[in-house]
């Protein structure tokens, strides 16, 4: 059973791991190149900002990908822990460096929790950051059974679901579902940089969603993309082929020379719809079971409280909430995602007009 842990690196992920483990009764020892970061994390209740008195059960290296191998060698040489893992978002390069550096690869099992966000630092940490999230596990050729048991226990203890992948497979997956989408969002957002005021004034929710992640720190994302450059380039090369086909189809249609252009364009759009359909629903449940109940509320303190008091009185559980504000609009449309069987009960108990839509 996991009783003691060391967290090296008190950023968002490291501090969140420490908070989660501490809240489950594990004794955690924190360190960071910046002593203030470890002290801040400790003040938040994440653990002790000091060296452990002896080897801990597991050490979590929450340092940048480029520093994993050197950090692992250093902490192994001083016998910090019986088992070691990390949280780096790209795995193949660090694993190669670890194997070349003469580290003990039996006591190491790579990890990558699919959680985080645009925020950083210990103050952004949350004990529940990993609850219900996937946590990728990437072994070496030598990872021992004891190391497997310890790191798996860590992952399940913080509420995450382990998913075992090899390093190359992991890096291809994050290229596809995280790194390439980020760069695509950036490329689309870059088109807006020199747009006229009237043009951006016509922007709606669609372009906001497509470009949202482009707000991330360019230097941080350049590092992430550089560490996974080959896999990201592979995804984008395939995308570029489709993009060229789309542009060619549009040019043909603009010249009133349809031929196969309409068919090709529809096929590209249909593949997008199919691909979008592959994404798991937020709650891991089929979309069909839910409907949206739309309610118009005023923009005053208490309006949402009145609405949710009515919802509570109806005894209906809300799966998700979305508030649709128009720019400068006084009122807002609140959309409540509920199971189909609850929708009627909910609308009857609301004191304001509502409409029900299938998702």
Q: Residue 275 belongs to what H/E stretch? A: helix 261-277
- Cβ-based nearer residue to a second copy, 1 or 279: 279
Which of 188, 260, 340, 341 is in the footprint of a second copy by CB under 8 A?
A: 188
Residue 168 in contact with a second copy, rule: CB under 8 A: no
User: Within positions 98 to 117, which residues make up the interface with a second copy, using CB under 8 A?
Assistant: 114-115
Residues paired with residue 4 on neighbouring β-strands, in sequence order: 27
If binding is defined by CB under 8 A, does position 352 make contact with a second copy? no
Residues 224-263 that bind a second copy (CB under 8 A): 225-226, 229-230, 232-233, 235-240, 242-244, 246-247, 250-251, 253-254, 262
Minimum distance between the CB of residue 294 and a second copy, rounded to whole angstroms? 8
302 binds a second copy (CB under 8 A): yes
Q: Which two tokens stand for residue 87?
A: 């949280």
Determine, following the binding rule CB under 8 A, whether residue 48 of this chain makes contact with a second copy: no
Structure tokens at 341: 């069987």
Cβ of residue 101: shortest distance to a second copy, in angstroms? 17
Q: Where are the beta strands (DSSP E) in 216-316?
A: 290-297
Least separation in angstroms between CB 17 and a second copy = 16
Taking CB under 8 A as the rule, does residue 340 contact a second copy? no
Distances (CA, A) of 155 to 32, 71, 135, 162, 315: 22, 21, 7, 7, 34
Interstrand relation of 354-358 and 320-325 (parallel, antiparallel or unpaired): unpaired
Report the site for a second copy in 119-148 (rule: CB under 8 A).
119, 123-124, 126, 128, 131-134, 136
Q: Is 45 in the site for a second copy (CB under 8 A)?
A: no
State how far the alpha carbon of 210 is from the alpha carbons of 36, 259, 283, in Å: 37, 31, 21
Helix (H, G, I), strand (E, B) or coil at 146: helix
A 10 A CB-CB count for 71 gives 20
Out of 269, 288, 341, 351, point to the residue binding a second copy (CB under 8 A): 269
């Amino acid at each position: 059973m996991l009783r003691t842990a060391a967290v090296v690196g008190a950023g968002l992920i490291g501090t969140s791991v420490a908070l989660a483990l501490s809240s489950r009764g594990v004794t955690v020892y924190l360190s960071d190149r910046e002593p203030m970061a470890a002290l801040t994390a400790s003040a938040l209740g994440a653990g002790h900002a000091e060296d452990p008195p002896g080897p801990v059960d597991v050490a979590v290296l929450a340092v940048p990908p480029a520093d994993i191998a050197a950090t692992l060698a250093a902490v192994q040489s001083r016998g910090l822990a019986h088992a070691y893992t990390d949280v780096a978002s790209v795995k193949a390069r660090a694993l190669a460096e670890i194997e070349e550096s003469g580290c003990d690869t039996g006591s190491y099992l790579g990890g990558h929790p699919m959680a985080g966000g645009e925020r950083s630092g210990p103050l952004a940490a949350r004990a529940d950051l990993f609850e219900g999230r996937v946590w990728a596990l990437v072994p070496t050729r030598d990872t021992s059974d004891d190391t497997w048991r310890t790191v798996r226990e860590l992952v399940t203890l913080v509420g995450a679901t382990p998913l075992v992948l090899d390093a190359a497979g992991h890096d291809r997956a994050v290229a596809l579902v995280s790194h390439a989408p980020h760069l695509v969002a950036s490329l689309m957002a870059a088109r807006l940089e020199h747009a006229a005021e009237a043009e951006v004034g016509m922007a709606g929710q669609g372009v906001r969603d497509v470009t949202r992640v482009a707000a991330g720190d360019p230097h941080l994302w350049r590092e992430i993309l550089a560490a996974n450059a080959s896999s990201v380039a592979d995804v984008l090369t395939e995308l570029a082929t489709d993009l060229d086909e789309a542009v060619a189809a549009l040019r043909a249609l603009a010249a009133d020379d349809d031929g196969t252009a309409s068919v090709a364009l529809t096929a590209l759009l249909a593949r997008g719809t199919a691909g979008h359909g592959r994404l798991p629903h937020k709650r891991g449940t089929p979309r069909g079971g839910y409907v949206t109940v739309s309610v118009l509320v005023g923009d005053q303190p208490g309006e949402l409280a009145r609405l949710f008091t009515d919802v509570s009185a109806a005894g209906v559980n809300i799966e998700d909430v979305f508030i649709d504000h128009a720019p400068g609009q006084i009122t807002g449309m609140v959309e409540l995602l509920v199971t189909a069987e609850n929708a009627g009960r909910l609308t009857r108990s609301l004191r304001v007009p509502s409409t029900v839509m299938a998702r």
